[in-house]
Amino acid sequence: MQRESAIFRALGDPSRLAIFESIARREAPVKELTAQFRISQPAVSQHLAALRKAGLVTVRRDGRLAYYGLKSSGLKPLADWLSHFQAFWPERIGRLNALLKEVD
């Protein structure tokens, strides 16, 4: 109940959302993420700490590199929360259903 708010807040910053989406595409060390955006390395690290605190990403350290990757269960609370509202957009059900069949 209060956890979704934290997730929303974590993804509410454009830079942080972009970083998250990049990580979601593929795991990457801080160095690479820093090169990707126009903010300093400490800023990236701070965003990563926020994402980690929100349970959205994980770290894997290898030598002096810290690889950040998507935490698979991270978005689950959001999905659960969202499913509460599915009754309100029936036009969406069809597409979601199709997507699920694809996965099966």
Partner DNA sequence: ACAATGCATAAGGTTATGCTTATATGTGTG
Partner DNA sequence: CACACATATAAGCATAACCTTATGCATTGT
Span near DNA by CB under 7 A; candidates 30-38, 71-79, 80-88, 92-100: 30-38
Calpha distance 50→55 (Å, rounded): 9
Find the binding residues for its own copies in span 12-71 (CB under 8 A). 12-14, 17, 24, 70
Q: How far is the CB of 18 from its own copies (least distance, A)?
A: 9
Judged by beta carbon, residue 38 or residue 95, the one nearer DNA is 38
Bridge partners of 67? 29, 60
Q: How far is the CB of 63 from its own copies (least distance, A)?
A: 26
Query: Distances in Å between the alpha carbon of 12 and those of 2, 3, 19?
Result: 15, 14, 12
CA angle (53, 57, 60) in 5-degree steps: 110
Question: Which residue among 7, 20, 23, 34 contacts DNA (CB under 7 A)?
Answer: 34
